[in-house]
């Protein structure tokens, strides 16, 4: 039973039908969520609140959902919060009349800027009561802060934050007396949640996926109860499946929520389909340790091997001028004779300004008469003289923004391996064989500009081995092995699927896969490296607790120029103490000389995994192990992963699975869920 279900007392007397959703009401739900770790309870708090929004103020459903997932817009819109700590501290100080030194001292002691804000707020007497915050007002305020640019942007951002903080908590139960931060983690304090939202870290344990499921449930209950009925389990499950499918193909609540309100959840699939202009999260592959594992997985199935090109994932979207398009013109795109086009990264970020040379040549390889498409590709550096793929490191030397076609030094070639949408229709449900065929009919290979990923359909072990060797000679990373026919060969957006397996050249010994880890801190070097960092503390990500759990120290694999580059890159953002959401050894001797906010992701290879009392990774995911985390043995730096955000780093659950697999293999049995 939660607050919202209690009939005896209206928990939000100020919230009348048709009136904006009070932000305080959302914060009460956040506090309920924060007070538990049980996923089903979190889900029910979330869906009950959304039901209330649907019942009273459906027009606020979109801003409510966005604040729940801590986003202001879909990823591809590029609107990000993540406001720096110093700016927020300044705003807290100025809006509450406390000095910056006191705020900093509080932050050192409490380690959660949200609580510092809540505490600061409570000390302040309120003479004039500002109007209560509303969900839509907070969303608009945050949007204004996030999108402020140009001259005096810092000052205007601080002013925006102050405005929100001044109105926060003015109507709370204590009426200005305040928030006791020693109780209930600060309870439902609006200041706390505003600050955490600004930081880009809610730390509620509320996963995006839970919000999606809660929204589906709320919608089904709302619709069925309008007919005076109670929804069946089958209806609830159907609603959930529909929303999950639609969101995976069209990951934009700005498009989905209004359509769902207008047409109902059960008709959503007809109205919300994959569209050029809305990038989808790509399908990902499972790692393997040996070619024989591939054969075991795909036994008696038709499968195909492709070169695994080593570059940057690129999703190319295109529409011709005469076709209907709603969204492509609202993202940064390039116009050509044949139509308009845009490129997105693995994370749905806009790459059009990084690779204008690709879009400039698009008319060469798109056949006449093509109306629209979404193409999944890998962009690699291209050696014009040798006419072959360049190593990944060369591609990385390209400028990242505002590239001018005439200045490009490292030429690129696009290798297409999948087609997700063609001429007005999604193709994701077709078999890979059919999608490949459609690709061949729609595009033309142009050497050094555009090609199809080299492929071979075979199930012969020797042939696959030879193909793997050839791929490595051609500067590729190895092979991708994919299901070719039938339902299982459909494109599964945003899924790491066992219908795609990766066989990397250096799998055949060692761990199976490299890890993408977040840099938390650094140690000063020794000898001639005393002015640089000589080693780093790395971590894996825990999405449930939104914490970074330490996994190893890394001091191998760096050349001197790389260390210089990393020092220049990291040192400006060094912070003296670790944020509260770092899970690390409490022993001071094991702590780095400087800490960093979570930002940089590095790819690291290791000999194997081991248990260690010094590191914390996957601590809660190992049965029968206490006081120890998983650590890497002989870790080696491979490269920076600029295309990954810290939240995309290797997750602690995967670390635990890798450890279990390794243990299973070393004991001569199947590693439990291997390949799956």
Q: What is the contact surface with ligand ATP in residues (CB under 6 A)?
A: 282, 284-285, 306-309, 313, 346, 378, 417, 453, 480, 502
Place of tokens 């004991």: 667
CA distance 235 to 64: 24
**Roughly what angle, to the nearest 10 degrees, separates helices 61-68 and 23-34?**
30
Q: For the CB of residue 559, give the shortest distance to ligand ATP in the complex, in Å.
A: 22
Distances (CA, A) of 225 to 6, 41, 242, 263: 18, 22, 19, 16
Contacting residues for 165 by C-beta, under 8 A, at least 6 apart: 91, 92, 95, 96, 117, 121, 191, 194, 195
Q: For the CB of residue 581, give the shortest distance to ligand ATP in the complex, in Å.
A: 22
Nearer to ligand ATP among residue 29 and residue 497 (C-beta): 497
Do 350 and 344 contact (CB within 8 A), yes or no?
yes
Residue-by-residue DSSP string for 382-412: EETTTTEEPPHHHHTTS--SS--GGG--S-E
CA distance 200 to 70: 7
Distances (CA, A) of 233 to 236, 251, 371: 5, 25, 42
For residue 354, how far is the Cα from the chain centroid?
A: 20
For residue 436, how far is the Cα from the chain centroid?
A: 28
Nearer to ligand ATP among residue 57 and residue 352 (C-beta): 352
Which residue is closest to ligand ATP by CB? 313
Do 621 and 653 contact (CB within 8 A), yes or no?
yes
CA distance 168 to 170: 5
Within 10 A of 444 (CB to CB), how many other CB atoms are there?
13
- Of 538, 540, 575, nearest to 558 by C-alpha is 538
Do 552 and 632 contact (CB within 8 A), yes or no?
yes
Q: For the CB of residue 417, give the shortest distance to ligand ATP in the complex, in Å.
A: 4
- Of 601, 596, 593, 588, nearest to 651 by C-alpha is 601
Nearer to ligand ATP among residue 307 and residue 596 (C-beta): 307
Do 315 and 355 contact (CB within 8 A), yes or no?
no
Q: For the CB of residue 406, give the shortest distance to ligand ATP in the complex, in Å.
A: 28
Nearer to ligand ATP among residue 391 and residue 613 (C-beta): 391
157, 192, 308, 354: which one is catalytic?
Answer: 308
CA distance 335 to 49: 44
Do 529 and 511 contact (CB within 8 A), yes or no?
no
Q: For the CB of residue 48, give the shortest distance to ligand ATP in the complex, in Å.
A: 35
Q: For the CB of residue 303, give the shortest distance to ligand ATP in the complex, in Å.
A: 13
CA distance 462 to 364: 37
Tell me the two tokens of residue 404. Answer: 């001018």
Q: For the CB of residue 541, give the shortest distance to ligand ATP in the complex, in Å.
A: 12
Q: For the CB of residue 416, give the shortest distance to ligand ATP in the complex, in Å.
A: 9
Three-state secondary structure readout of 186-239: HCCCHHHHHHHHHHCCCCCCCCHHHHHHHHHHHHHHHHHHHCCCCCCHHHHHHH
Q: For the CB of residue 208, give the shortest distance to ligand ATP in the complex, in Å.
A: 17
Q: For the CB of residue 318, give the shortest distance to ligand ATP in the complex, in Å.
A: 19
Do 457 and 463 contact (CB within 8 A), yes or no?
no
CA distance 439 to 618: 42
CA distance 25 to 599: 32
CA distance 556 to 569: 18
Q: What is the DSSP letter of 326?
A: S
Q: For the CB of residue 337, give the shortest distance to ligand ATP in the complex, in Å.
A: 29
CA distance 618 to 42: 22
Q: For the CB of residue 413, give the shortest distance to ligand ATP in the complex, in Å.
A: 12
User: Is 273 noted as a catalytic residue in this protein?
Assistant: no
Distances (CA, A) of 543 to 26, 169, 202, 526: 22, 29, 11, 35
CA distance 24 to 46: 15
Nearer to ligand ATP among residue 251 and residue 282 (C-beta): 282
Catalytic residues: 308
């Amino acid at each position: 039973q939660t607050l919202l279900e209690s009939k005896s007392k209206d928990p939000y007397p100020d919230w009348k039908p048709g009136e904006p959703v009070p932000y305080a009401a959302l914060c009460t739900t956040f506090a309920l969520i924060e007070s538990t770790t049980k996923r089903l309870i979190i889900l029910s708090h979330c869906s009950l609140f959304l039901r209330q929004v649907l019942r009273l103020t459906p027009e606020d459903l979109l801003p409510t959902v966005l604040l729940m997932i801590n986003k202001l817009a879909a990823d591809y819109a590029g609107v990000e919060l993540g406001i720096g700590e110093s700016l927020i501290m300044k705003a807290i100080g100025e809006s509450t009349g406390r000095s910056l030194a006191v705020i900093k001292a509080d932050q050192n002691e409490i380690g959660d800027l949200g609580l510092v804000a809540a505490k600061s707020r409570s000390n302040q007497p309120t003479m004039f009561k500002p109007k209560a915050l509303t969900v839509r007002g907070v969303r608009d305020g945050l949007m204004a802060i996030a999108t402020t640019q140009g001259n005096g942007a810092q000052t205007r951002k601080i002013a925006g934050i102050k405005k929100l903080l001044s109105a926060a908590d003015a109507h709370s139960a204590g009426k200005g007396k305040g928030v006791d931060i020693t109780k209930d983690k600060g309870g439902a304090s609006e200041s706390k949640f505003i600050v955490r939202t600004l930081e880009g870290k809610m730390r509620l344990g509320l996963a995006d996926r839970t919000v999606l499921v809660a929204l589906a449930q709320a919608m089904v209950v709302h619709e069925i109860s309008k007919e005076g009925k109670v929804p069946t389990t089958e209806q609830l499950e159907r609603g959930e499946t529909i929303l999950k499918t639609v969101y995976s193909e069209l990951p934009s609540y700005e498009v989905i929520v209004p359509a769902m309100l207008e047409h109902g959840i059960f008709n959503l699939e007809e109205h919300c389909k994959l569209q050029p202009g809305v990038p989808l999260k790509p399908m990902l592959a499972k790692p393997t340790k040996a070619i024989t594992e591939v054969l075991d997985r795909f036994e008696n199935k038709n499968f195909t091997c492709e070169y695994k090109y080593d570059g940057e994932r690129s999703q190319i979207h295109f529409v011709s001028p005469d076709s209907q398009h709603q969204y492509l013109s609202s993202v940064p795109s390039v116009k050509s004779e044949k139509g308009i086009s845009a490129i997105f990264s693995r994370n749905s970020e806009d790459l059009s300004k990084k690779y204008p040379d690709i879009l400039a040549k698009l008319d060469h390889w798109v056949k006449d008469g093509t109306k629209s498409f979404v193409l999944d590709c890998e962009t690699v550096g291209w050696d014009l003289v040798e006419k072959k793929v360049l190593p990944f490191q060369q591609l990385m030397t390209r400028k990242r923004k505002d590239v001018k076609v005439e200045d490009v030094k490292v030429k690129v070639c696009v290798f297409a391996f999948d087609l997700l949408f063609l001429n007005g229709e999604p193709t994701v449900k077709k078999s890979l064989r059919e999608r490949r065929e459609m690709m061949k009919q729609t595009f033309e290979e142009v050497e050094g500009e555009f090609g199809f990923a080299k492929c071979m359909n075979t199930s012969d072990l020797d042939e696959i081995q030879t193909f793997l060797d050839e791929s490595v000679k051609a500067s590729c990373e190895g092979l991708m092995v994919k299901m070719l026919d039938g339902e299982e060969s459909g494109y599964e957006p945003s899924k790491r699927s066992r219908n795609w397996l990766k066989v990397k050249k250096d799998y055949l010994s060692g761990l199976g896969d490299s890890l993408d880890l977040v840099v938390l801190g650094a140690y000063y070097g020794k000898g001639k490296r005393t002015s640089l960092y000589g080693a780093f503390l790395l971590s894996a990500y825990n999405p449930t607790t939104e914490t970074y759990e330490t996994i190893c120290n890394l001091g191998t694999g760096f050349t001197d120029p790389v260390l210089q580059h990393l020092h220049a890159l990291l040192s400006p953002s060094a912070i003296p103490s670790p944020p509260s959401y770092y899970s690390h050894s409490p022993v001071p001797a094991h702590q780095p000389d400087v800490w960093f906010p979570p930002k940089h992701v590095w790819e690291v290879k290791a000999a194997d995994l081991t248990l260690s009392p010094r590191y914390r990774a996957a601590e809660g995911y190992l049965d029968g192990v206490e006081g120890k985390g998983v650590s890497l043995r002989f870790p080696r730096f491979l490269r920076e992963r600029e295309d990954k955000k810290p939240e995309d780093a290797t997750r602690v659950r995967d670390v635990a699975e890798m450890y279990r697999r390794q243990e299973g293999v070393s004991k001569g049995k199947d590693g439990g869920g291997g390949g799956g």
